[in-house]
Amino acid sequence: MSWSFLLRRLLLAIPTLFGVAAIVFVLLRVVPGDPIAMLIGPGATDADIAELRRLYGLDESIALQFVYYLQDLAGGNFGTSISMRQDVMELVLGRLPVTIELCLVAMSVAIALGGAMALAGAYWRGRAGEAAVDGAAGFVLAIPDFLWALLFVLFVVVFALDGLPISGRIGHDVGFRGATGFLLIESLVRLRFDAFGSVLLHTVLPAFALALPLAAIIARVLKASIAEAMTQDYVLMARVKGFSRARIVCREALRNALVPTVTLTGVQFTFLVGGTVLVEKIFSYPGIGNMAIDAVINRDLPLIQGLVLTFAVLFIAVNLLVDMSYALLNPRMRHG
Amino acid sequence: MAEAAAVPGGPLPHARESAVRRLLGNPRVVLGGAVLLFFALAAVFAPLLAPHDPVEQDLMLQYIPPAWSDRAEPGYLFGTDNLGRDILSRLLYGAQIALFVAVAAAAAAGLLGTVLGLLAGYLGGWVDAVISRLVEVWMAFPAVLLSIVLVAVMGTGLHSVIIAIAVIDWTRFCRVVRAETMAQKQQDYVASAVTVGLGRMHILWREILPNVLPLLIVLFTLEMGIAVIVEAILSYVNLSLASDFPTWGTMIADGRKYVNQAPWLMILPILCVIALVLALNALGDGLKDALDPVMRK
């Protein structure tokens, strides 16, 4: 994979980000509600209100506000949150590692689960095993991550599975304060296995809720790609050589089925990132998704803008990762 | 399908008859349709069926468990919630809102997407380029976040929910209708219509649209399922209707808050959402098989 490929992709992201910033900015300025109204106490005078408006730049025209906003963005200044009265960049960066770790765990679960289902379906092709895999994938796919999350909460409560936490990210009794937000990685590096276990347990349910729909898609696409690969000459060759069916499916066919699978499931990875908004809310998981809903409810314009941009950056990053893995898996793309 | 609709006056009687038989012979259509009918009847007759006022609070009747529990009270089949409101009555009125939003939002999204898709597919050129680019940019947004932001902007209420779904999901219709229109444009009946000298708009609305209709019915059904979920999501984050109004999403959100004291608050509304969504999906997939001439072969 060449550097120019990476650079070109990064440059392409700039107009997309600009578009997202512009649409969200304009959308939020036509809000009928007044964000200042939440800030003022009952005794505030008109002068106080005017002062606050000036402070947050809400007294200028929309076009001028947008120009100032872009200038600030270019200088790395995302503004100040109205409801929390803190720097937006600081707030977002404090929560971002939580969501990134959750997404990485969810993606790993989806790949492992979907891959296992696809291999099982391909191995038992035309038998009950394949029908079971197809049925499971269809059922899982019909229910969105939001409802899976709620179903998990219900299961835990109804069957009293007290070992599985349904809110928060780490147990209160675990005295572990990370220097970074990446608790899962940091606790492992610092050999705090109790903290690692606690964070992992808190992550299991939200990660599975996010992972299930993606796992079902991966299972379907990968299974179809393996079936396609199984009709190729080199598979026949491997059969003639006397390799076992398991070896042919896992070694020969799988390797060639990966490229179409990555291409076809790529966009689904961004859906997983978008799903964190609700899933984090349901599990009171302290990431940026949870923060986004609170920001919308509080009409915290700078924070909403910052978070939507952050999500757009995450989407672009995921797409880039998918394209890069595509290039890595397909030798013909390496020197593109 | 193309030949049948090219005959003036629509499909021949025997073609219509076999279409009905095909639909009734498809188990997914029958099963999905039956569940949908069940919810539709529940919604229509909610005022007659509901044993209590869905918004009436009575703190003396808080947290009555459902009938299968030994602490149940007669007259409250599915129990009561944290404010003593009857869950069965709330579910019945919730079906009204869920189905109304599903139909209205799917219709609005379908109308917008179909018109743009037909124009893009039939006219091609710069119209197609503009519309296709718009679809691409639109789909780059995180849908859930966009819907939440939109409703926050427009204010809560059913109309906001419906508009938000239409504004976000028209792209689904647009992409499919555009592709189908391009395929239909290559058919002989369109060439004949051009030869006869019919106008472009006449051909688009009177000749091509009827042939895209089976596909639209399928998309509409699937979109209803999506709308049910989005309405539940928006109610869940408290952006759909005032919280004392009985929507399934609000009931789920209340249930999540009190899940440790009263898990039954959440079970039934979640099951209703899942049953309705699965039914709409099955119906849509079944219709696709039954109506799609290519799949039939």
Mean per-residue pLDDT, A59-71: 82
ipTM of the complex: 0.77
Q: B27-296 maps to which CATH number?
A: 1.10.3720.10
Confidence class for position A93, pLDDT limits 50, 70, 90: very high
pLDDT at B296: 44
Residue A98 has pLDDT above 90, yes or no: yes
pLDDT, residue B99, reads: 93
Q: Which residue of A has its CA nearest to B149?
A: A296
Rg of the Cα atoms in chain A? 24
Confidence of residue B7 (pLDDT cuts 50, 70, 90): very low
Give the model's pLDDT for residue A233: 83
- Digit-coded pLDDT (tens) for A302-325: 888 888 888 888 888 887 887 777
Rg (CA), chain B: 23
CB contact under 8 A, A20 and B256: no
Whether the CB of A273 is below 8 Å from some CB of chain B: the reply is yes
CA distance A244 to chain B (A): 36
Counted across chains A and B, CB pairs separated by less than 8 A come out at 97
Is A150's CB within 8 Å of B270's CB?
yes
Q: What number is the average pLDDT over the span B25-51? A: 88
Is B114:B211 a contact under the CB 8 Å cutoff? Answer: no
Binned at pLDDT 50, 70 and 90, residue B231 comes out as confident
Domain boundary assignment for chain B: 27-296
pLDDT at B3: 44
Per-residue pLDDT, A42: 65
Instruction: Please report the pLDDT score of residue A37 as a whole number.
Output: 63
Residue B242: pLDDT band (50, 70, 90) is low
Question: What are the chain A neighbours of B145 within 8 Å (beta carbons)?
Answer: 274, 277, 292, 307-308, 311
- Return the pLDDT at A194: 87
Nearest residue, CB atoms, B281 vs list A142, A166, A277? A142
pLDDT for the residue A336: 43
Evaluate if residue B28 carries a pLDDT over 80: yes
Query: What is the per-residue pLDDT for A127?
Result: 83
Picking from B140, B232, B260, the nearest residue to A157 by CB comes out as B260
User: Which of B35, B148, B149 to mutate to probe the A interface, most A CBs <10 Å?
Assistant: B149
Query: Picking from A112-116, B62-66, B260-264, which range would have the lowest pLDDT averaged per residue?
Result: B62-66
A-chain CB neighbours of B268 within 8 Å are: none
What 3-state DSSP class applies to A334?
coil
Looking up tokens 């992201």 gives A13
Domains defined for chain A, CATH in brackets: 3-74 (no CATH), 88-335 (1.10.3720.10)
* Residues in chain B whose Cβ is within 8 Å of chain A: 137, 140-145, 148-150, 152-153, 155, 229, 232-233, 236-239, 252, 256, 259-260, 263, 266-267, 270, 273-274, 277-278, 281
Among chain A residues, the shortest Cα distance to B142 is held by A274
Checking A315-323 for CB contacts under 8 A at 24+ apart, the result is A315/A270, A315/A273, A315/A274, A315/B140, A315/B142, A316/A13, A316/A16, A316/A17, A318/A269, A318/A270, A318/A273, A319/A266, A319/A270, A320/A6, A320/A9, A320/A10, A320/A13, A321/A269, A322/A262, A322/A266, A322/A269, A323/A9, A323/A266
Buried b / exposed e along A304-326 (16+ C-beta atoms within 10 A): bbbbbbbbbebbbebbeebbbeb
Task: Give the model's pLDDT for residue A20.
Answer: 78
Residue B243 has pLDDT above 70, yes or no: no
Q: Which of residues 3-32 of A touch B (CB under 8 A)?
A: 16, 19-20, 23-24, 27-28, 30-32
SS3 A302: helix
Tokens read off for A333: 């793309």
Query: How close B165 comes to chain A (CA, Å)?
Result: 16
Of A151, A166, A292, the CB nearest to B145: A292
Distance CA B251, CA B231 (A): 12
Report the residue count for chain A: 336
pLDDT attached to residue A32: 59
Distance between CA atoms of residues A278 and A46, nearest Å = 38
* Confidence tier at B4 by pLDDT (50, 70, 90): very low
More confident residue, B59 or B212: B212
- The pLDDT of residue B1: 41
Sequence-distant (≥ 6) Cβ neighbours of residue B25 within 8 angstroms: B290
What's the pLDDT band for B70 if we cut at 50, 70, 90? confident
> Among candidates A146, A221, A136, which has minimal Cα distance to B226?
A146
Q: How do residues A132-176 score in pLDDT, each as one tens digit?
A: 888 888 888 888 888 999 999 888 888 888 778 888 888 877 777
Least CB-CB distance to B256: which of A150, A275, A292?
A150
pLDDT of res. B15: 61
Smallest Cα distance from B260 to chain A, Å: 6
What are the pLDDT digits (tens) for B72-118? 677 777 777 777 788 888 889 989 999 999 999 999 999 999 999 99
Distance between CA atoms of B230 and B234, rounded to whole angstroms? 6
A189-238 tens-digit pLDDT: 888 888 888 888 899 999 999 999 999 999 988 988 888 888 888 888 88
Cβ distance of A297 and B238 shorter than 8 Å: yes
